[in-house]
Amino acid sequence: MNPKALKKLLEQVKTGKISPVEAYSKLKSLPFEDLGFAKVDHHRHIRKGFPEVIYCPGKTIEQIVKIARHIAANKHALLATRADEKAFSAIKKVAKDAKYNKVARIITSKGLGTRDKGLGDKTVLIVSAGTADIPVAEEAAATAEFLGNKVEKLYDVGVAGLHRLLNNFKALNKANVIIVVAGMEGALASVVGGLVDKPVIAVPTSVGYGASFKGLSALLTMMNSCAPGVAVVNIDNGFGAGCMASIINNL
């Protein structure tokens, strides 16, 4: 139930159009619904601006589908991250309009909590250092788009060939928020942060050789950036970066 529907329901109770008992039956699954193994948060889109998201790893297909069914039954938008083809096939049965982004490993279905219209000219620019970083970059892009943001992409412009980035300075300058996705030593976020006056969300990836320690090297580089205005999310957390960019765009 979205804020407008909730307000309308309360007004109907006030004017006597529906009884408190009827209103209770509509609200009984709020603020969350206990499924035993999970508590589905039906109030999250009211508090956060977007509904609860399903993180698929560690859950059985049956658990994923049951959560998805209850989200869809309440007409909330559906977003499932780190999903595979099996999860998509199962979710498709309870959310007929579900779509799967294979590269981002994200399943989406429209409903309450998503915006049909973008946020004007407030662009989220996704920048990746290398081609190997694209899956995480696509997770960030798919998340930001799901939340109603205008998204542009600039891939494979890492510091090994800095001229590729500088050749796209216009796109960097136009963006309202920039998400920088990089593995190896993770230096690209500092470079971008030193060029623009926009918030930069740095996403370290687990891409790299042995001493990159599965993304730890990039994470520490980004956290120790000397460029002001750079914030860092967890390793491979494109979803978190997309959410943060959307929150900034909504301010």
**Is the confidence at residue 192, as pLDDT, over 80?**
yes
Give the position of tokens 């997309």. 242
pLDDT tens for 13-46 read 889 988 888 877 766 656 776 778 888 877 777 7
Query: 74, 109, 144 — which closes off a domain?
Result: 109
Query: 76, 109, 142 — which closes off a domain?
Result: 109
**Is the confidence at residue 73, as pLDDT, over 60?**
yes
Q: Is 102:139 a contact under the CB 8 Å cutoff?
A: no
Specify the number of domains making up the chain. Answer: 3
Same domain, 21 and 65: no
DSSP 146-193: HTT-EEEEE-S--GGGHHHHHTTHHHHHH-SEEEEEE-TT-THHHHHH
Higher-pLDDT residue of 235, 121:
235
Angle, alpha carbons 238-249-95 (nearest 5°): 55
Strand partners, 112: 76
Residue 75's pLDDT is: 76
Residue 118 lies in a domain: no
Q: How confident is the model at residue 222 (pLDDT cuts 50, 70, 90)?
A: very high
Lowest mean pLDDT among 48-57, 110-119, 218-227: 110-119
Same domain, 181 and 72: no
Phi, psi of 41 (to 5 degrees): -85, 100
User: How far is residue 143's CA from residue 96's CA, in Å, rounded to a whole number?
Assistant: 20
Same domain, 230 and 142: yes
Same domain, 23 and 39: no
Residue 114 lies in a domain: no
Residue 219 lies in a domain: yes
**Is the confidence at residue 167, as pLDDT, over 60?**
yes
Same domain, 156 and 220: yes
Q: Which two tokens stand for residue 250?
A: 């909504």
Question: How distant, in Å, are the alpha carbons of 10, 32, 74, 89 from that of 5?
Answer: 9, 17, 12, 31
Region of 114 on the Ramachandran plot (φ > 0 left; ψ -120 to 50 alpha; else beta): beta
Q: Which H or E run includes 242?
A: helix 238-250
Q: How confident is the model at residue 157 (pLDDT cuts 50, 70, 90)?
A: very high
Residue 110's pLDDT is: 80
Q: How confident is the model at residue 4 (pLDDT cuts 50, 70, 90)?
A: low
Residue type, 251: L
DSSP symbol at 37: S
Closest CA to 189 of 157, 162, 225: 225
Neighbour count for residue 109 (Cβ, 10 Å): 22
What predicted TM-score, i.e. pTM, was given to this entire model? 0.82
**Is the confidence at residue 57, as pLDDT, over 80?**
yes
Query: 60, 80, 109 — which closes off a domain?
Result: 109
Residue 109's pLDDT is: 87
Same domain, 165 and 235: yes
pLDDT tens for 75-123 read 788 999 999 999 999 999 888 889 999 999 999 988 655 554 555 678 9
Q: Residue 101 belongs to what domain range?
A: 31-109
Same domain, 79 and 194: no
Same domain, 137 and 54: no
Instruction: Calculate the average pLDDT of the chain.
Output: 88
Q: Which residues, other chains included, contact 90 with Cβ-Cβ below 8 Å and sequence gap of 6+?
A: 61, 64, 65, 68
Closest CA to 26 of 75, 67, 65, 61: 75
Residue 209's pLDDT is: 94
Same domain, 19 and 134: no
